[in-house]
């Protein structure tokens, strides 16, 4: 057994990071805004009640982005992008110190009370530190994830899982833990904010956390509190059951927009009309803009187009996991052989389920990809956490049999 050689680096008076010695300096630089995040969170919704807030960066096999253990968040190393662009995850796990650890969902059916509140809170922390444009882009990307998830659930015959208030009777709760709880829950809170105004809504949320501190919460209990302390005093009409019990996204949902993404879409249009990638106006783009760019490229592209993009922007060599995975998905769908060595390397070294599932899913859509997926999985499986293995064994119909032919 190998024991990690952990070291600690302080960030602020109450914040710091643990990681292996080879990683800890990089992580401390990446998480430089942690103390500011904590101060912003307290300014929004009341004092931090857990003493310290530290993060430990775990090995690449860790299957989640983060896990909000009180006082010590477990985090994936895939957020160490080298430019502090993926640390919204830290804001998210920190927000769980209120929505999740302070007031906790009573059952897995009420999971949205943890995650929907936390995404909303995360966005508010990021807005306070990085500005409204940053928060807008983050919110739009989340909405894209939500719509894709709801379309998939409906196509798979699981439309009931697009409700906020779940029914996981007789099921593994993990099977129903999707972007719906996170992003639809956030959209509900954003819609409530729009109806009553931010100052009123912030006062309501702070009172909610104070009133139910160190207690568990059910959906029914929250709805009663919402009516008594927000809707009725402010004479607001809001059909909360349409949100919690209804499928899909209600018609009154207030969704985020981003002017900066409109500029990205204009550059995509220029490229599809024949402008070379190196001539596009991409200077100063953030990770979010690159993610939006990659998500909205044409579904079908030629080898020449893929080569043009990669030569201009170096996607295959990117150290940013979000950008790289979005690019690798395009490579799989367009059978771009030049990126397959990188795909093999990534799947053999990263165990975060958020990335593994879409990459393997895209691979098994073709016979060539299925053989590739089986070959890679055979070598990578032992490096994955049991949570990821369970999901991928089912996805790939995995049987430990004769190795498939090389692709």
Residues with catalytic function = 93, 182
Position of tokens 């002017």?
Answer: 259
User: CA geometry: angle at 145 spanning 142 and 146, to 5°?
Assistant: 90
- The backbone torsions φ and ψ at residue 183, rounded to the nearest 5 degrees and listed phi first, read -90, -35
Tokens of 216: 């568990």
CB 8 within 8 A of CB 24: yes
User: Length of the chain in residues, anyone?
Assistant: 407
| Distance separating alpha carbons of residues 265 and 103, to the nearest angstrom | 40
| Distance separating alpha carbons of residues 294 and 334, to the nearest angstrom | 13
Task: Give me the half-sphere count of Cα atoms (radius 13 Å) on the Cβ side of residue 282.
Answer: 23
In angstroms, how far is CA 6 from the centroid of its own chain? Answer: 27
Give kind and range of the element (H or E) at residue 190.
helix 185-196
Q: List the beta bridge partners of residue 326.
A: none
- The backbone torsions φ and ψ at residue 248, rounded to the nearest 5 degrees and listed phi first, read 75, -165
Tokens of 92: 């998210």
What is the three-class DSSP state of 100?
coil
| Distance separating alpha carbons of residues 73 and 71, to the nearest angstrom | 7
Position of tokens 């990638």?
Answer: 277
Give residues with Cβ within 8 angstroms of 247, minimum separation 6: 159, 160, 162, 163
| Distance separating alpha carbons of residues 407 and 97, to the nearest angstrom | 47
Residue 107's CB: how many other CB atoms inside 10 A?
14
| Distance separating alpha carbons of residues 312 and 199, to the nearest angstrom | 46
């Amino acid at each position: 057994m190998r024991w990690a050689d952990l070291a600690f680096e302080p960030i602020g008076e109450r914040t710091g990071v643990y990681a292996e010695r080879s990683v800890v300096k990089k992580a401390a630089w990446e998480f430089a805004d942690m103390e500011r995040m904590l101060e912003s969170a307290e300014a929004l919704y009341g004092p931090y009640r857990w003493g310290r807030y530290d993060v430990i960066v775990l090995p690449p096999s860790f299957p989640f982005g983060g896990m909000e253990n009180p006082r010590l968040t477990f985090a994936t190393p895939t957020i160490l992008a080298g430019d502090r662009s993926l640390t919204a995850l830290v804001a998210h796990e920190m927000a769980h110190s209120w929505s999740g650890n302070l007031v906790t969902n009573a059952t897995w059916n009420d999971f949205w009370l943890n995650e929907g509140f936390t995404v909303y809170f995360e966005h508010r922390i990021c807005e306070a530190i990085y500005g409204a444009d940053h928060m807008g882009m983050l919110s739009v990307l989340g909405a894209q994830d939500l719509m894709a998830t709801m379309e998939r659930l409906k196509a798979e015959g699981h439309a009931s899982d697009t409700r906020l208030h779940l029914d996981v009777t007789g099921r593994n709760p993990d099977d129903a833990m999707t972007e719906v709880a996170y992003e639809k829950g956030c959209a509900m809170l954003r819609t409530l904010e729009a109806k009553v105004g931010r100052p009123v809504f912030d006062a309501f949320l702070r009172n909610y956390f104070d009133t139910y501190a160190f207690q568990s919460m059910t959906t029914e209990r929250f709805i009663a509190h919402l009516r008594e302390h927000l809707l009725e005093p402010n004479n607001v009409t809001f059909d909360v059951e349409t949100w919690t019990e209804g499928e899909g996204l209600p018609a009154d949902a207030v969704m985020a927009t981003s002017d900066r993404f409109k500029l990205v879409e204009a550059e995509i249009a220029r490229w599809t009309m024949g402008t070379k990638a190196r001539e596009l106006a991409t200077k100063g783009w953030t990770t979010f803009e690159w993610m939006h760019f990659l998500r909205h490229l044409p579904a079908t592209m030629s080898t020449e187009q893929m080569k043009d993009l990669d030569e201009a922007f170096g996607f295959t060599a990117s150290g940013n996991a979000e950008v790289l995975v979005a690019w690798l998905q395009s490579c799989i769908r367009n059978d771009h052989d030049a990126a397959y060595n990188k795909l093999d390397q990534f799947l053999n070294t990263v165990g975060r389920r958020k990335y593994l599932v879409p990459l393997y899913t895209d691979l098994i859509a073709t016979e060539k990809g299925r053989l590739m997926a089986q070959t890679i999985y055979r070598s990578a499986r032992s490096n994955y956490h049991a949570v990821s293995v369970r999901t991928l064994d089912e996805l790939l119909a995995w049987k430990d049999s004769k190795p498939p032919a090389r692709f």
